[in-house]
Structure 1
Amino acid sequence: MLLLLIFSSIFLYFFYHFHWKRRNLPPGPRPLPFLGNLLSLKTLKPGYEAFSNWKKEYGPIFTFWMANKPFVIIASYEKMKETFVKDGDTYVDKQLTHTEKERLGENYGVLDTNGHMWKEHRRFTLTQLRDLGLGKDLMQEKILMEVEELFKELDAHGGEEIDLPKLIDRSVGNVINLTLFNKRFDMDKRDEFAHLKSLIDGMRNVTSQFRYLIQYLVPWTSTVLPGPTLSEKVRAKREELDDFFYSQIDEHRNEIDFDNTENLDFVEAYLKEQKKREEDGDFKTFCNKQLCAMLFDLWIAGLMTTTMTMTWGLSYYLYNPEVQRKIREELDKVIGNDRLISTADKNDLPYLQAFVTETQRTANIIPLNLIHMTTRDTVIDGFPIQKGTGVIAQISTVMYDEKVFPEPYKFKPERFIENGKFKKVDEVIPFSIGKRQCLGEGLARIELFLFFANIFNRYDVMPDFSGSLPDLDKSKDNFVIPRKFKAVLKRRYMD
């Protein structure tokens, strides 16, 4: 009798996990108890191939399990438009992480909020970025100023091996710092930027470890896995970053003229809005904790994604002599000297545009996209989906779709050239899709074009003296991380 009870319990356990709990969901890979399908991400790092394989087997809609929780994967561009664009309000919420809640008592920022707080601050941020020059000459001037400062550094080391990604890091960091605080990291503040960057890299390195990736995606595992938790590993680094943000906030509060309607940076605009709200009795929506979290979200996102894409783009450039030749020929034909290139030149440089686009597509820096959460009961491809179910726009499967991009893992800017002109392809969606699309998309696009165009026009970029090339193998890491390498740059035009 006891043996029968044991066998029955085992049978019911596996019947539930392998069949019953999956019965009303889209088909997908069979999940393991406790782990779900997460081991597949470790086996096929950084995750592209796992999702691509499942798409081929189950179609553009399938279920992926993180531990015992199901997530509906949307793996085609057409289905993404049907859900995240045409029915955007149903998928506007994000599944929130617990690291911020544990630290602050509730969620703040734009990455870790939903509802009124998220809507208010997304709208406010987009408005302020436009007012601060995004899409206008003012923002371009700030970026080109950093391009010129970068040139001074590169010229000073002409013909020597240099850590090019490190220099680009600071240039991009200056652009976001100017936008947020109207300050740049001058020569005397290099150590400050290096320290802040080390904190960010340290947090990234922690979360890229598989055990901490699991804790991020499945928070309850923090209570059962031995050793320090994800929150404990990143807390000290996050607190140091917050100290930097709070010091900038306090400095701004003491300096700004609250009666002046013109704003020099994001913090100034925020503090003025905060004062206005507090005068109306609202002390929560625009508070110091929210501003600090906003700065963290914008600074991290504005720095990491752009520099990561640039290091991959430079790596692809070094690997492809034919791409180098075509870019130089186009620049020589259209520009013809070492003047600064602006966005006004963009339409005359179709191959360079194609290079930037192919960099974003091939770098594909987000192996697992933002986890949305349904705001109401809905239906996806005929399957009833309950409110609160996780839904993911898996953009990697779209940008590596073999039907749209033959030989998807090959770097081929020619994909985006048609009759000598740049051809836009809708399936290139590095900034995601829908109402949670990346806030900094406009800024990132301008930065990538201006930095790449001006570096390639002014310099021949070559491997280091040993001839070694950057490592393009993504199977070593759980995340896509920036490339590290040294290069030699020589002026193409002499004064």
Structure 2
Amino acid sequence: MIIILTFPLIALFLFHELFWKRRKLPPGPIPLPIVGNLLSLALPKPGYEAFRKWSNEYGPVFTFWLATKPFIIITSFDIMKETFVKDGDTYSDKQLNGDGHGSFYGVLDTNGEMWREHRRFTLTQLRDLGLGKDLMQQKILLEIEELHSFLDEHIGENIDLPKVLDRSVGNIINLTLFNKRFSTKERDEFIYLKTLVDGMFNTVAEFRFFIQHLIPWTSKIIPGPTLHEKTKEWRNLLDEFFKKQIEEHRKEISFDDVESLDYVESFLKEQKRREEDGDKDTFCNQQLMAMCFDLFMAGLMTTTTTLTWGIAYYLHNKDVQQEIKKELDQVIGSSRLISTADKNNLPFLSAFLNETQRCANIIPLNLLHVAKKDTKIGGMEVKKGTGVIAQISTLMFDDKVFPDPQRFNPDRFIENGKLKKVDELIPFSIGKRQCLGESLARMELFSFFANLFNRYEIEAGNGGLPSMDKSNDNFVMPRKFNVVLRKRYEE
């Protein structure tokens, strides 16, 4: 009797899983019960191949199941633009994971008015602090001069260059937040902070915690400690660090001054104005700590990851090295500092940066957007609450746009000796959730690459060439390697 009842139930379950729940969605790979299509992201990691294969099989719009939740994946630039730019308000919300206690702060984990208010405020403050202007450029170049001073003392020695660059990028972020850099006298403070950041990032990179990051409810069924339990101490220590910096800053600043020297000063002044008007929530202390966390984590990890991959590609491609040095010698011809004012005269270096961002492709699975209303994508009906993803990693490896996409080839961005714009290169994503710090990151990446390659001959140190294998991690991780430097110009 039990067997007779079991077979219909199994048949009904399979009918629901394989057909019924998928009937009104775009076609896509068949999801497994409970886990959906998640296991495909690990074969091989970090998931590029699965999305490329599905895009070829099902077209530029298909359904991918994150456990039991469907997400519509878009791999066509034209459809991404139609969806996330022309109809951007519909997709400005994202799936929220929160801080483990059901609270949502910052800009990475907020939606609605809170997100809009703080995204607008942050963009305005970054612009006022000199983002895209000479003021920010000067801060970056001063940091590069400090970097040069350190590297010049270790010419001919093995140097852990990624570790040194980490500090420089961290200084720029801390200058933006607190108008303070991590000097050599405070080396332990930066190492401490970086240890906390790495601890959180490395934990989320483990597959079981990566799944919990994407689908929080799975923490209830996956054995062992949860993602929240593993990262709670690191997050609390980071919050303590930011809280201490903020309180010191609160005592130092003059609230009567119109001009602000950094983001936190601007926030504290706005907080005071809001509280005087009776609003104690929108610019609360917890929101400020979350904003510091978001800006620091996003700015440090993405920039250093891209820098280390760029140098790795540089070391692996001798022909690219020669072309970059040839251009630098013709245009610059000395060890002077290179600024963004030189950028238009260095098209191959800019092409190298473009190709680094394309090939490094550091976001294998893009932001999890959610439709705010019933709508259409590519002519197909999409219900309110459906997940939607602009899968930029698949687009940047599209062999129709970028022939032989796995090959590192900056010439694909050069046409008649000039830099060619390719719309499909969107490493900072697309739409209203596009990276807040895009302008700063572009300025940093160009300045670091240009000045490192111009000032130094860079050779692989002990340990040899850096690994280019991405298949060990769920995220694209920074490269680790040593280099030996020699000066290209006598001073």
Q: Give the TM-score, by structure 1 length.
A: 0.98
Percent identity, aligned pairs only?
Answer: 67
After superposition, residues 234-249 of structure 1 pair within 5 angstroms as 234-249=231-246
5+ residue gaps, structure 2: none
Which SS does the other structure have where 1:478 is aligned?
A: coil
Q: Which amino acid aligns with 1:121?
A: H
Determine the structure 2 residue equivalent to 1:423: 420
Cα separation, 1, equivalents of 2:231 and 2:316: 35
The Cα shift of 1:382 comes to 2.8
Cα distance, 1:446 vs. partner? 0.2
Map of 1:57 onto structure 2? 57
How many residue pairs get matched?
491
1:485 alignment partner, one of 481, 487, 490 = 481
Aligned position for 2:116: 119
Residue of structure 2 equivalent to 1:405? 402
Match 2:146 to one of 149, 174, 187: 149
Tell me the residue number matched to 2:452. Answer: 455
In the alignment, what sits opposite 2:187? 190
Correspondent of 1:303 among 271, 293, 300: 300
Distance in structure 1 (CA, Å) of the matches to 2:288 and 2:439: 21
Q: Deviations over 1:308-350 (max 9, x none)?
A: 0000000000000000000000000000000000111000000
Q: How does 1:264-283 map to 2 (within 5 A)?
A: 264-283=261-280
CA positional deviation for 1:477: 1.1
Give me the whole-angstrom Cα distance separating, in 2, the residues matched to 1:283 and 1:477: 42
**Could you tell me which residue of structure 2 aligns to residue 389 of structure 1?**
386
1:96 aligned counterpart, secondary structure: coil
Question: 2: distance between equivalents of 1:90 and 1:76?
Answer: 18
> What per-residue deviation string (whole Å, max 9, x for no partner) do you get for residues 262-292 of structure 1?
1000000000000000000000000000000
Question: RMSD of the TM alignment (CA)?
Answer: 0.8
Q: Which residue number in structure 1 is paired with residue 17 of structure 2?
A: 17
User: How far apart in 2 are the matches of 1:43 and 1:326?
Assistant: 36
Aligned pairs (5 A) from 1:13-412: 13-98=13-98, 100=99, 102-103=100-101, 105-412=102-409
Within 1, Cα distance between the matches of 2:400 and 2:384? 33
Aligned residue identity for 1:381: G
Per the TM alignment, residue 220 of structure 1 is displaced from its structure 2 partner at its CA by 1.0
Which residue identity is paired with 1:192? E
The gaps in structure 1 that reach 5 residues or longer are none
- In 1, the alpha carbon distance for the partners of 2:2 and 2:446 equals 70
* 2-structure distance, mates of 1:56, 1:22: 20
Q: How far, CA to CA, are the matches of 2:449 and 2:133 in structure 1?
A: 19
Q: Deviations over 1:189-243 (max 9, x none)?
A: 1111011111111111100100001111111111111110000000000111101
Runs of 4+ in 1 over 2 A off after TM superposition: 1-4
Between the aligned partners of 1:320 and 1:158, the Cα distance in structure 2 is: 22
How many Å separate the matches in 2 of 1:60 and 1:465? 44
Q: Distance in 1 between matches of 2:91 and 2:450?
A: 37
Q: Secondary structure at the match of 1:62?
A: strand
One-letter amino acid of the counterpart of residue 159, structure 2: I
- One-letter identity of the residue aligned with 1:324: Q
